[in-house]
Amino acid sequence: MDKPTEYTLTWTVTDDMTAKRIGSAGSKILSTPNMVALMEAASLELAKAYLDEGMTTVGAEIHCRHLAPTPVGMKVSATTRLRSIERRKMWFDIEVNDEKGKCGEGSHLRIMVTPKGISDKAEQKE
Residues in the chain, overall count:
126
pLDDT bracket for residue 122 (50, 70, 90): confident
- Per residue in 72-118, pLDDT (tens digit) is 999 999 999 999 999 999 999 999 999 999 999 999 999 999 988 88
Q: Top-level CATH class of 6-124?
A: alpha beta
Mark out the alpha helices in the chain (DSSP H runs).
32-47, 115-124
pLDDT bracket for residue 126 (50, 70, 90): confident
> What's the DSSP call for residue 5?
S
- Per residue in 43-68, pLDDT (tens digit) is 999 999 999 999 999 999 999 999 99
Domain boundaries, the chain: 6-124
- Contact partners, residue 84, CB within 8 Å, separation at least 6: 90, 91
- Per residue in 4-42, pLDDT (tens digit) is 999 999 999 998 899 776 766 667 899 999 999 999 999
